[in-house]
Amino acid sequence: MTGTREDILLTTVDTLLEARRTGKTLTDLPAELIPADIPEVYFVQDAVAAAFGPIGGWKIGAPTPEATPVFAPMPAAWMAPSGSTLTDPRHLYRGLEAEIAFLIGEDLPPRDTPYTREEALAAMASCHPVIEVLESAFTDPAAASKFASLADLQMHGGFVYGPAFDAWHGFDFNTEKVNLSIDGVIRVERTGSNTSGDLLKLIPWLANEGATRTGGLKKGQWITTGSWTGNTLANKNASVDVEFATAGRVQIRFA
């Protein structure tokens, strides 16, 4: 990347941060500020995330079982346990996704020999139901350019984790049922609906293919593995309840 291009992308970073911090959302980025490819997307993501403090983990997903996964950093400052009330005024969009996440129990540093699936999964300390809260620099993220929306932390805005689900080893997530309720009304109900097909494959992929960017996966970080329920919007003061039939339950409320 040339110095001139880097300067342009740093303007992209400033533009996204300004929209996020002020709530003055954008229709899209100006054409010259839109990242041209995934490496440029990741450059912008990393700089945006750095403005919010240490990294608490990574969100990763794939739109289809055949697609190459994409991933983004999750700021530790935006993480909270189930039952939390989210009071931060930056929660304006309030998108919701039901997900399955993993807490890393052992470091997986970069190495020449790829980690096997078994090695990567063995390094996970626990599995949890989670709610990913979506926020955006864009008024309508679906109408923004794809790489602009991806650069905006893939719409990440918060991570709320429920209790550990102990029996995840060997569990068939393709048969798991989930529902997402807002203010006591079920809004989404699905079965085996993670778009990547096999969500566990995302963990060794991140440990290996993502290692150059992540610097290796670190104990205490989280990995969340993509939406089961699509993007459902909540109003102010809404109470949100996600319940997986086997993996458990996680709840939040917006102030």
The topology under which CATH files domain 3-254 is: Fumarylacetoacetate hydrolase; domain 2 (3.90.850)
Q: What angle do CA 214, 216, 217 make, to 5 degrees?
A: 95
CB 44 within 8 A of CB 9: yes
Instruction: Please give the structure tokens belonging to residue 18.
Output: 């300004």
Where do the DSSP E strands lie in 62-176?
70-75, 79-81, 84-86, 95-104, 124-134, 156-161
75: left (phi over 0), alpha (psi -120 to 50) or beta: beta
At 98 the pLDDT is: 98
Q: Which amino acid is at 207?
A: A
| Cα 83 to Cα 252: distance, rounded to the nearest angstrom | 5
At 214 the pLDDT is: 98
- Which pLDDT tens digits describe the chain residue by residue (255 residues)? 788 999 999 999 999 999 999 999 999 999 999 999 999 999 999 999 999 999 999 999 999 999 999 999 999 999 999 999 999 999 999 999 999 999 999 999 999 999 999 999 999 999 999 999 999 999 999 999 999 999 999 999 999 999 999 999 999 999 999 999 999 999 999 999 999 999 999 999 999 999 999 999 999 999 999 999 999 999 999 999 999 999 999 999 999
Domain ranges of the chain: 3-254
| Cα 125 to Cα 164: distance, rounded to the nearest angstrom | 9
CB 72 within 8 A of CB 61: no
